[in-house]
A and B are shown apart, each in its own frame.
Chain A
Amino acid sequence: MVTVLLSAGWAHRGQKTFACHEGTVRDVIREFVESYPHYRRRLLDDDGEPLTYYNVYLDGDLVEATDRSRVAAPADSTVAIVPPLAGG
């Protein structure tokens, strides 16, 4: 499984980590939203594609928005979703 990590600033009811299946980073984000539709407006556009204003890190490495459909998140990896204004 892949762990999806959110910041406390975005965490709904305090839950910051979620389990998803392996796949491209794009697929992981889409599956995450399918399981937790509360995050749809934050993460996907009207066509269901991941928005580009937030940053995504795979095991600590930045995945550029243009690479999210190509880069695979393997088992036991962590996909962190970080807004452009972090902390606070």
Chain B
Amino acid sequence: MTSLGDLHTTGPTAPPARATMVRVPGGTFLQGSPERTLDWLEAEGQAFPRDWFTDETPQRPVTLRDYLIDRYPVTVTEFADFVARTGYVTSAERAGGSMVYSDYWEIREGACWHRPAGYGSGVRNRGDHPVVHISYPDAEAYATWAGKRLPTESEWERAATGRAYRLWPWGDTWDPTRANTAEWTGGSLRGLDEWRKWWSGIHNAQGPVPQTTPVGAFSPHGDSPDGCADMTGNVYEWTSTTAHLYAPETRCDPTIHLVMGRFRAIRGGSWMNFRYQVRCAERLYGDPTGWSNFALGFRCADDAPESGAEHHGR
């Protein structure tokens, strides 16, 4: 038996099964949001100005070959298997802590993938939850070990939205019961003040424990057209794509311009977010130099084998 924090495994387990990957057919899709989505966001009265979202524009055609992408984010159990087999030490473990949210973001001593809320916390009974506190190098290391790679930002968006543009994987009508977001956990939250009150109640009772749910808990009604689960909410997910604008003339929040060429694209939003931050075309960017937080995970992708050929990934 292997013991990792409070997580006990029965030794090396079977590698991630290929059956948990979805084959997305190649073709051309429109990546990004049309202007009408920005009009809608402005009309919704949500917290951010239009230039917070203009990095999603202009919508442009992107052509992809067939590829594979994990149906689910990588789980605690899968990551534990990787660590047990390789002895890998994550960025958070090397740094002695990672970021959690209390009343603001803070570095919590001891926080890492097997102690998601810091010292005294653990992952018992969370083996099927998405792993968190994963830095970009951590995600790349796992993907390489698994014989896979991280999805590009285009691959991620295509897997979430399908062949045609839609706000969320299931369509254009928001439904809080289809994904793990703050609006599912907290009910009808209106604005940041109500969000803070909701989170304060959880934090006071539990500490900064990630409100993740088992992967696939919202399947099938929350799945994308190609059958990917948890593309909306649960955990933020790394992609391999370096932050860039879709068109050089685009103007957005000045701090977003500063991370272009420096950060990596992150997709999907998380359990912390409202409906606006978990859309298929929504873009976030993460510092790839070792930073992580308690809502940040990943899933893997791979090139699709030719029809009839065996895939030789782990």
Contact = CB atoms under 8 A, between A and B. Distances in A.
A and B together in one complex: yes
Contacts of B52: 8-9, 87-88
A87 B104 contact: no
Contact of A85 (B49, B253, B258, B284): B284
Q: Is the contact region of chain A dominated by helix, strand, or loop, or is it mixed?
A: mixed
Nearest to B102: A41
Interface stretch (A18-26, A27-35, A66-74, A76-84): A76-84
A43 to B, nearest CB: 9
Interface stretch (B12-20, B28-36, B169-177, B286-294): B286-294
Contacts of A55: 287
Contact of A88 (B104, B262, B277): B277
B120 interface: no
B65 to A, nearest CB: 28
Given A41-B104, A42-B104, A82-B259, A87 B254 contact: no
A79 to B, nearest CB: 11
B103 A80 contact: no
B284 A5 contact: no
A82 to B, nearest CB: 5
Chain A: interface size category: 20 to 34
Nearest to B289: A84
B302 interface: no
A20 to B, nearest CB: 17
Nearest to B254: A5
Interface in B274-292: 277, 282-287, 291
Contacts of A36: none
B258 A80 contact: yes
Contacts of B255: 5-8, 80-82, 86
Contact of A8 (B49, B258, B273): B49
A8 B105 contact: no
Interface string B43-86: 00000110110010000000000000000000000000000000
Contacts of B277: 88
B258 A82 contact: yes
B7 interface: no
Given A8-B52, A82-B258, A87-B259, A53 B291 contact: yes
Contacts of B113: none
A7 B273 CA distance: 17
A7 B253 contact: yes
A20 B87 CA distance: 48
Contacts of A60: 258
A57 B104 CA distance: 22
B258 A87 contact: no
A44 to B, nearest CB: 11
Contacts of A16: 253-254
18 contacts: A5-B254, A5-B255, A7-B256, A8-B48, A8-B49, A8-B253, A16-B253, A16-B254, A41-B103, A53-B105, A53-B107, A60-B258, A82-B255, A83-B105, A85-B293, A86-B286, A87-B256, A87-B283
Interface of B: 48-49, 51-52, 55, 99, 103-107, 236, 253-256, 258-259, 262-263, 266, 269, 273, 277, 282-287, 291, 293, 296
Given A57-B258, A84-B286, A85-B236, 11 more contacts: A8-B52, A8-B253, A9-B52, A41-B104, A42-B105, A53-B107, A60-B258, A84-B99, A85-B266, A86-B263, A88-B269
Interface of A: 5-9, 14, 16, 41-42, 51, 53, 55, 57, 60, 62, 80-88
| Top 8 closest pairs, chain A to chain B, by CB | A7-B255, A84-B287, A84-B291, A88-B284, A86-B285, A41-B104, A86-B259, A87-B284
